[in-house]
Amino acid sequence: MPIARVTRRVHFSAGHRLHNPDLTDDENRETYGLCNNPTGHGHNYDLEVTVEGEVGPETGYVMDLKRLKLLLEREVLADVDHANLNLDVDWLSGVIPTTENLAVAIWRRLEGGLPGVTLVAVRLWETDRNSVEYRGR
């Protein structure tokens, strides 16, 4: 059976503030710059999720990408789209919502809910120039 990888891309908008409560205000400003704005700031994120598995002989699919889209909508987008990541998302409580930490948290939300395929990568684009890829290590 051939093995292939497929990727689904979704989009969401969210706000956040990068702030470590264990640092002083000066240390936070030095570390996070404008991203430490006390009233926060926002991004238009693109999320790519890649899964791998056998190409089904009956469907020709590794996974129906509509099913992957619905899973992403339910497990991720329903919580993060147009949300304040610091205040509104229970599964980010106590986490500094950097793109790196957000990618890891999204992986953890998805890793047990993909029967028949293997989660390979979560890539989160914060801007057109900046992205993070997490592969579960």
Q: Which residues are catalytic?
A: 35, 82, 126
Residue identified by tokens 């339910």 is 74
33 Cα distance to chain centroid: 22
Domains, the chain, with CATH or none? 3-134 (3.30.479.10)
3-state SS assignment for residue 15: strand
Rounded to two decimals, what is the model's pTM? Answer: 0.96
Per-residue pLDDT of the chain (137 residues; tens, 9 = 90+): 899 999 999 999 999 999 999 999 999 999 999 999 999 999 999 999 999 999 999 999 999 999 999 999 999 999 999 999 999 999 999 999 999 999 999 999 999 899 999 999 999 999 999 999 999 98
* 11 bridge partner residues: 46
